[in-house]
Chains A and B, each alone.
Chain A
Amino acid sequence: MSFIKRAVLYCLRQRFKTAILFLTLTVILTFLLTGIAIREAAAGAAAGVKTSLGGKIELELDADGNMGGGVQNQWGTVYGYDGDLITQDVVKAISSVDGVIGFNSEDAAAYYGAGVDFKYLPAAFDLSYTPYGEASSYTATLSSEKCSAFQSGKYKLTDGRHITPDDRRACMISKELAEFNGLSVGDRVKMYSLDSDSVTEFEIVGLFDGAEGMSGNALTVDEIPANCGYIDYATMFELFGDELSGYQQLTVYVDDPTGIQNVYDKIAALPEIRDRTLKLRIDTEEYDGVSSPLKSLQRSVNITVAIISAVGAAILTLLLTFRVRSRKNEIGILLSVGMSRTNIVLQLFAEAMLTAVISFVAAIPLSIFSAEKAGEFMILADLDVKINAENLLPLCLIGFLLIAAAVSVSSWTVVRSSPRDILTKIS
């Protein structure tokens, strides 16, 4: 009789013992499969974050040693940056590099405008220091969509569109300010700049929300977030051309974060950048900030899976040891009828594997349920814990190794004994 037939007979006839092994294996496999699924979900989320956040390269002015000799005035010595600038030619050159999908320069409070034909939400003090009342601040940007407030989700576009590098005299204002003045997308507003001493007409291209309810105890209108908006950079150059010859910084976005070094090298080699007093660096701060909790979760789950495997192996070994010891008689009989030790161990292994196959099938729906629950309890948002075919392969491998190790250890003592010793002890 083959060892497989003996194993099948044992599993079918010793139902109580098989049920105990089945339950033990099902619990171990369910924990393992859930752990593997969480680990895969965390890995998937980390990869997703990498793609969704993309890669960023920062281009900045290198002020070190480039602040000139200083100019004496009534206040003392004034130093000013006299190195190379991030000009529109530089931006144009960078935008033509393969892998670059966008860029932005964001200069907060670059423009102060007083409403010529509209009013700001009032603050505690009315400081009418321009002919048109108090001015509020505007962030100059090439692509408002890439600005930090929009990237972080603080602000959301509710109507119209974002400011793009091709815009001229475009602005975005808060929904609250628009409602306060009865303005909407497409309307034109006039603003007076004390700095340029000029009135400029802007088209409202978009409205955003997220700035409501933060007016609190603002003393001046520009302290109320809803009064602050965005304007295009081209208008800034138009208004302050002589003073503003370039961008303060430029953020370059690449399509594939994994190839960011390659894009960096290409940008660094551009004649517009090479040997200039400009600093180029890869910015991974945002990715690191989001991915580190995921990596930490992955590490924790790896440790948990290892602990489950070790504890599972120990419990399984203990259970199988009790089983093998209670079957000394049978092992002695099998040895006395000439079955080899290998043949007997294979029977024990086959019994465990046959039970494991059923446990494996039972563990799948249980793991799906526990994975769903685990997903709900995960602190990190968007962690999609699912059981899929890819999870089953490592489970098979770990399960097989666990059972092989447990059967080997549990059967070692008895199978190594001489058949005479076993049979003598029985009788």
Chain B
Amino acid sequence: MSVLEARNVSYSYDGKREILKNISVKFETGKTYAILGPSGCGKTTLLSLLGGLDSPTDGQILFNGEDIAKKGLAFHRKNNVAFIFQNYNLIDYMTPAENVALTSKLPPLPILERLGITKEEAKRNVLKLSGGQQQRVAIARALASESRVILADEPTGNLDEDTAEEIAGVLKESAGRMNKCVIIVTHSGELAKRADEVFWLKRGGIYRGEG
């Protein structure tokens, strides 16, 4: 059974031109998905709808078979999904440990250490870390939450090739070990290659890609 599903979802910013047209797609735990597509095709919009940051103009987003609108989008964001953004989106007056503690009651240090952040680094201000380290903290925050789905929007977009490679590996390995469903929106073919399944978003429709 799918953990997250978009069922007949359409979305329009202005009520006239639909950026997503009657899309249906299912995601399962333990798998990594990549959504590819040209700029402006609606990748981030689809991710926002799946994460409850916005509501579809038509159709439903289901979590474990239940419409997320039923319990509220804030509930869905808090309990079912976790985000990783291209620009890390860490709270700048907190340490890495405190950023992770935002979404989890578990001690943050073990997961940060597992992702390569040392104890000393975990106590520094997040802005004093490198881009790669900041993205590791963002991944740790997503993994530490009890959410079963991780939604990543261009998670390696701001990183150099080597770091991007490293981060992609960390994300896939950790999520797989924790049996989470990872949905990555990306332009990067390299990142997409690591995914278990690839979807193409084009002209408002979604198409399963060749792996």
Contact = CB atoms under 8 A, between A and B. Distances in A.
Q: Do A and B bind each other?
A: yes
Interface of A: 1, 9-10, 13-14, 329-330, 332-341, 418-420, 423-424, 426-427
Interface of B: 44, 48, 51, 53-54, 74-79, 82-83, 85-87, 89-94, 98, 101-103, 125, 141, 145
Contacts of B83: 336-337
Q: Could you tell me the dominant secondary structure of chain B's interface residues?
A: loop
A420 B47 CA distance: 10
A420 B87 contact: no
5 contacts: A13-B125, A336-B83, A339-B74, A418-B54, A423-B85
Contact of A333 (B48, B91, B98): B91
B101 A338 contact: no
B78 A337 contact: yes
B85 A339 contact: no
A333 B74 contact: no
A335 B78 CA distance: 9
A338 B79 contact: yes
Contact of B77 (A10, A13, A330, A336): A336
A421 B157 CA distance: 20
Chain A binding surface, main DSSP class: helix
A332 B53 CA distance: 10
Nearest to A342: B74
Contacts of B85: 423, 427
B87 A333 contact: no
B82 to A, nearest CB: 7
Given A1-B102, A419-B53, A340 B74 contact: yes
Nearest to A15: B93
The 7 closest A-B pairs by CB, nearest first: A338-B78, A13-B93, A338-B77, A420-B53, A420-B54, A420-B48, A419-B53
Given A9-B98, A420-B48, A339 B78 contact: yes
Nearest to B75: A338
A10 B44 CA distance: 30
A13 B145 CA distance: 25
A13 B53 contact: no
Nearest to B54: A420
A330 B74 CA distance: 16
Nearest to A17: B93
Contacts of A330: 91-92
Contacts of B101: 1
